[in-house]
A and B are shown apart, each in its own frame.
Chain A
Amino acid sequence: MIKLLMGNEAIALGAIKSGVRVVSGYPGTPSTEILETVAKNNDGSIYVEWSVNEKTAMEVAAGAAYSGARTMVTMKQVGLNVASDPLMSLAYIGVKGGMVIVVADDPGPLSSQTEQDTRHFAKFSNLPVLDPSTPEEAYEMVQAAFELSEQVGLPVFLRPTTRICHACSSIDISDSREEHIPSGFEKDSRWVIFPQLSYRRHIEIEKIQVALSLIFSKSPFNTVSGKGSLGIAGSGIAWSYAQDVINDLGLNVKTFKVGTPYPFPVKLAESFLEGLDRVLVLEELDPVVEEALLEIAGSKGLRISISGKKNGATPYAGEFSYELVHKAISDFAALPGADINEPAIPPLPSRPPVLCAGCPHRASFYAVKKAMKGQKAVFTGDIGCYTLGNAKPLNMVDTCLCMGASVSVAQGIKRVEPDTRLFAFIGDSTFFHTGIPGVINAVYNQTDIVLVVLDNSTTAMTGHQPHPGTAKTMMGNVSEKIDIEGLLRSIGVKWVQKINPFDQKAAITAVKEASNVKGVSAIIFEAPCIALVKKPEPLRVDSHICRACGLCIREIGCPSMILKEDGKVQIEPSTCYACGLCSSICPFGAIGGMNHEG
């Protein structure tokens, strides 16, 4: 049956077809839809969970794979940093059931802190990696990855990038499903990592790398075609652009498509390099394929010039595009560049992402800002929608590093600036992910910080996934809700208050009080993300009362508020969530409900 599938959906359906039994992960753009699609298509025979973080997810998957089940774990590239501890040891221990680690990279980056390249992690951990160039190839690769994992007894990486994850293709999918009954966990010393075992396994692992390189030289995901003295090698989405450009230019070159960047298919690469004078390598992020080719050329003493990132033919940073690849190939083949006559356009306003109209985070930030007006304070931020609180006019995010860092970075600043008040903002899902150890650290070391938990009952940024505080699971069960307040109290935070941030008066009073507490104090701002509630009737501005002072817009920058020509304010009814924050700011009482004059 032909279906239009997103790369992430294709990966999920491919895994189901391969008989996957356990799927775990933590949400992160661009990987999130993989696990969600498995859950949506689960006939009940697959165990699916959003784990609390990527390390936990990796370990859950490992245990299942020890027990002989086909398992998949999903995350984004920075999530793999969190999971790197189990990952590195897992390469030594190996698996019994096929284990696929899907890590989505984000060249650009479009929605990430870094542009790190997971292919390095594959090399670093001695695990093979498959790198799809289209969604349909991702569908094939995930199935091959399970086979390969069982064949060599190691987890296998599948590393799609944003343009694969979030692209759709019409794909012919089958409803058939392989049956893989797990053999169960068998007690054996091989599952216990000890220095002795590690040494022995290291020898084995290096042998497997050589075997894998040979396997990959015959893999259908790697191909050499065409002839001539010019060669173009590519991987991932860059290979897809390269094919389109080569076609459009009607170019006759030898090509090398690399679908398995590590272990590198050396034999096949040698046949590609044979007879070439010059090679252009096209790949996003780091020069992984380029370095592999350079190494082969060097060790074989070949006189070939290899272009790529190292000689500036293509950039390290940012994602590739058809246009970028077109220029790189044209330059390489000494063709005249395409003259694109771009239409003249007037200057346009920028449009950065913003907190939604009615977002409770806006009210929380505003309350803290008001309460700390004129005081020396630093606001450390974290990863989630609330990172957007950095924008004007709120300006309430002074630092952002990685998941959970708000809590600990605040402590470091406090130790250097004892007379500054430190506020650490963290969302509910991030709090459970890696926020808790930081709080324990502050309690233990008696550091004065105010923890501000922005609890909107969901993992909003990645598309509203449940987490331990929501009591919903991906199996559709209701579990025990983990209570943030109770948890904080149990680890020794004595001053904790739960407040609705839209009650600005109470919120401001609480913030002031919390900032004077010795040690750790915590405010839990509790109000649901607007995506979880039915949209109420919008508020409106009475234009007779509005005096065009513009205070409401300047203070909170809600995207539903529009400045009219006459300087008065108007509320866009299709997006206003009637949160009331603007009306609490208006000094003239011009903003009110529907019966208010418009």
Chain B
Amino acid sequence: MKADILIAGVGGQGQILASRLIGAAAILEGYTVRTGETIGMSQRGGSVVSHVRIGGESKSATIPFGQADLMIGFELCETVRNIKRLSENGRLIVNTQRINPVTVSLGMDEYDTNAMEDALKKTTSNLIMLDGYSLAHQAGSFKAVNVVLLGAAVGAGYLPLSRDSFIKAIEEIMPQRFHNLNYAAFDSGHDLAGRIIAKNTE
């Protein structure tokens, strides 16, 4: 199996942890992994991306334009910003949460939600949009958005790694006091995406 997965979002949303979890789950299933992260100044609320490459022969961690099999967008505008890396009709999970850049609050820039959502719908039909922010909050913490979205990717059948491997990866990487919260977060995304897919194929 070979899968290139791109995660795009705003610094502080826990992308690095998400890519580490995918990496750990993939290693548990016997695959080789490469990841590349944005670490540094952009982590202070700037645009960040993580690349995760499972299997395959590539030597570099960066996914070329048009080659991501799956993209997990942690925030609407950042998803659109990086959509050029998604493959033709590739799979896309989007957290509909809108995080206003300060430039928008100051009136220097505009954030056109409708135009952005339209652009995504035009790019691919394998698209699931969900409110990861509220699901994470219900699971016990706003911070668990990252794990909700991973759950959704697995639940939709977009990420060919098992729920079990992710449960083990959470156990391996995260402090024990966060385990139950993250299991719940994972499952809430997993179940919702599963239901959306079932409904779409009806």
Which residues of chain A have a CB within 8 Å of any CB of chain B? 2-4, 6, 29-30, 110-111, 133-134, 162-163, 166-170, 237, 239-241, 243-244, 247, 321-323, 326, 340-356, 385, 388, 391-393, 461, 553-554, 557-559, 561-563, 572-575
Question: Are A351 and B77 in contact, with the CB atoms below 8 A?
Answer: yes
Residues 32-61 of chain B, each 1 if its beta carbon lies under 8 Å from chain A, else 0: 111111111111111100000000011111
Contact among B10, B19, B84, B118 for A342, CB-based, below 8 A:
B84
Residues 60-71 of chain B, each 1 if its beta carbon lies under 8 Å from chain A, else 0: 111011100000
Which of these binds chain A: B109-117, B159-167, B174-182, B194-202? B109-117
Closest residue of chain A to B118 (Cβ to Cβ) is A346
Question: Are A350 and B103 in contact, with the CB atoms below 8 A?
Answer: yes
Report Cα–Cα, A243/B56, bound state, in Å. Answer: 13
Report Cα–Cα, A553/B33, bound state, in Å. Answer: 43
User: How many of B's residues come within 8 Å of A, CB to CB?
Assistant: 65
Report Cα–Cα, A110/B44, bound state, in Å. Answer: 13
Question: Are B101 and A385 in contact, with the CB atoms below 8 A?
Answer: no
Taking CB atoms, residues of chain A closer than 8 Å to B35 are 4, 167-168
Chain A nearest CB: distance from B118 CB in Å? Answer: 8
Contact among A461, A558, A562 for B41, CB-based, below 8 A:
A461
B192 within 8 A of A: no
Question: Are A30 and B66 in contact, with the CB atoms below 8 A?
Answer: no
B27 within 8 A of A: yes
Residues B73-101 near A (CB distance < 8 A): 77-78, 80-81, 83-84, 86, 99-101
Taking CB atoms, residues of chain A closer than 8 Å to B153 are none
Chain A nearest CB: distance from B161 CB in Å? Answer: 14
Question: Are B61 and A4 in contact, with the CB atoms below 8 A?
Answer: no
Report Cα–Cα, A356/B78, bound state, in Å. Answer: 19
19 additional A-B pairs beyond A354-B45, A356-B12, A553-B105, beta carbons within 8 Å, are A168-B20, A239-B59, A247-B57, A326-B64, A340-B65, A344-B119, A345-B83, A346-B80, A348-B116, A349-B103, A352-B46, A352-B101, A356-B44, A393-B106, A461-B41, A554-B106, A559-B102, A559-B105, A563-B104
Question: Are B102 and A348 in contact, with the CB atoms below 8 A?
Answer: no
Report Cα–Cα, A29/B101, bound state, in Å. Answer: 24
B189 within 8 A of A: no
Known: A349-B104, A557-B102. A110 touches B84 (CB 8 A): no
Which residues of chain B have a CB within 8 Å of any CB of chain A? 10-12, 19-20, 23-24, 27, 31-47, 57-62, 64-66, 77-78, 80-81, 83-84, 86, 99-112, 115-116, 118-119, 122-123, 133, 137, 142-143
Report Cα–Cα, A352/B105, bound state, in Å. Answer: 13
Taking CB atoms, residues of chain B closer than 8 Å to A574 are 133, 137, 142-143
Question: Are B40 and A29 in contact, with the CB atoms below 8 A?
Answer: yes
Contact among A4, A111, A345, A554 for B27, CB-based, below 8 A:
A4
Question: Are A350 and B101 in contact, with the CB atoms below 8 A?
Answer: yes
Chain B nearest CB: distance from A411 CB in Å? Answer: 28
Question: Which among B10, B11, B39, B57 has the greatest number of chain A C-beta atoms within 10 A?
Answer: B39
Question: Are B84 and A168 in contact, with the CB atoms below 8 A?
Answer: no
Contact among A2, A133, A321, A561 for B59, CB-based, below 8 A:
A133
Report Cα–Cα, A573/B141, bound state, in Å. Answer: 11
Question: Are A350 and B115 in contact, with the CB atoms below 8 A?
Answer: no
Known: A4-B24, A353-B44, A553-B105. A345 touches B62 (CB 8 A): no
Closest residue of chain A to B101 (Cβ to Cβ) is A351
Question: Are A342 and B43 in contact, with the CB atoms below 8 A?
Answer: no
List 16 contacting pairs A-B, 8 Å CB cutoff, sorted by A. A4-B33, A167-B60, A168-B20, A170-B27, A170-B33, A244-B59, A244-B64, A346-B119, A350-B109, A353-B11, A356-B44, A461-B41, A559-B105, A572-B99, A574-B142, A574-B143
Report Cα–Cα, A351/B84, bound state, in Å. Answer: 18
Report Cα–Cα, A444/B89, bound state, in Å. Answer: 68
Question: Are B61 and A163 in contact, with the CB atoms below 8 A?
Answer: yes
Contact among B11, B59, B100 for A240, CB-based, below 8 A:
B59
Report Cα–Cα, A340/B43, bound state, in Å. Answer: 29
Question: Which among B12, B40, B106, B142 has the greatest number of chain A C-beta atoms within 10 A?
Answer: B40
Question: Are A168 and B61 in contact, with the CB atoms below 8 A?
Answer: yes
Question: Are B84 and A343 in contact, with the CB atoms below 8 A?
Answer: yes
Chain B nearest CB: distance from A560 CB in Å? Answer: 10
Contact among A240, A340, A344, A461 for B60, CB-based, below 8 A:
A240
Closest residue of chain B to A133 (Cβ to Cβ) is B59
Closest residue of chain B to A32 (Cβ to Cβ) is B39
Report Cα–Cα, A563/B104, bound state, in Å. Answer: 8
Chain A nearest CB: distance from B139 CB in Å? Answer: 13
Report Cα–Cα, A573/B133, bound state, in Å. Answer: 12
Chain A nearest CB: distance from B3 CB in Å? Answer: 14
Report Cα–Cα, A354/B143, bound state, in Å. Answer: 19
Contact among B44, B77, B83, B111 for A343, CB-based, below 8 A:
B83
Chain A nearest CB: distance from B122 CB in Å? Answer: 7
Report Cα–Cα, A461/B39, bound state, in Å. Answer: 10
